[in-house]
Amino acid sequence: MAGLIVSLVVALLWVSAAAAPLELPIRELNLAGQTLQVEIAHTPATMSQGLMHRDHLPEDQGMLFLWPRDQVVGMWMKNTRIPLSVAFIDREYRILNIADMQPHSLQTHPSAGPARYALEVNQGWFARNGIEAGARIDDLERLLEDLTKPTD
């Protein structure tokens, strides 16, 4: 009986740890006259979790995914409760394509070409701010440089 209780406690701790948001660096990103607070997903663990298991994303927040090399990538919404839009961005900071994604969907949304970055925000945010494929996110270069600076 004690072994069963220990097993249940361990299982519950594992499930709650898997669902807990990871601590991520946060930076400001200026885009189309708007300032977004973006969490930076740059490790396999943070990129895999993304915005899963969250009930709300404030309108001025998002998540920026960083891949180490140019590649065609795909995003899906497993365990993600919030409808999102994702912009796939190339190494020149230009948006390749934007996809709207539905909660809990396993549909893969691919980049239209080799991407280095992806920016997830609340669904419709890009459209509401007049941002389309082909737009360049100039401030992304500054944000990336800021990430490489040592912190005090």
pTM to 2 decimal places:
0.84
Sign of CA dihedral 144, 145, 146, 152: positive
133-to-54, 74, 104, 108 alpha-carbon distances in Å: 27, 16, 25, 19
Fold (topology level) of 24-148: Jelly Rolls (2.60.120)
Sign of CA dihedral 91, 96, 100, 101: negative
Whole-angstrom Cα distance, residue 87 to residue 115? 10
Domain ranges of the chain: 24-148
The predicted pLDDT at position 11 comes to: 37
36-to-4, 28, 85, 91, 126 alpha-carbon distances in Å: 47, 6, 14, 20, 12
The predicted pLDDT at position 58 comes to: 97
**Per-residue confidence in pLDDT tens, the chain, 152 aa:** 444 343 333 333 344 344 445 689 999 999 999 999 999 999 999 999 999 999 999 999 999 999 999 999 999 999 999 999 999 999 999 999 999 999 999 999 999 999 999 999 999 999 999 999 999 999 999 999 988 877 65
The predicted pLDDT at position 9 comes to: 35
Whole-angstrom Cα distance, residue 79 to residue 69? 26
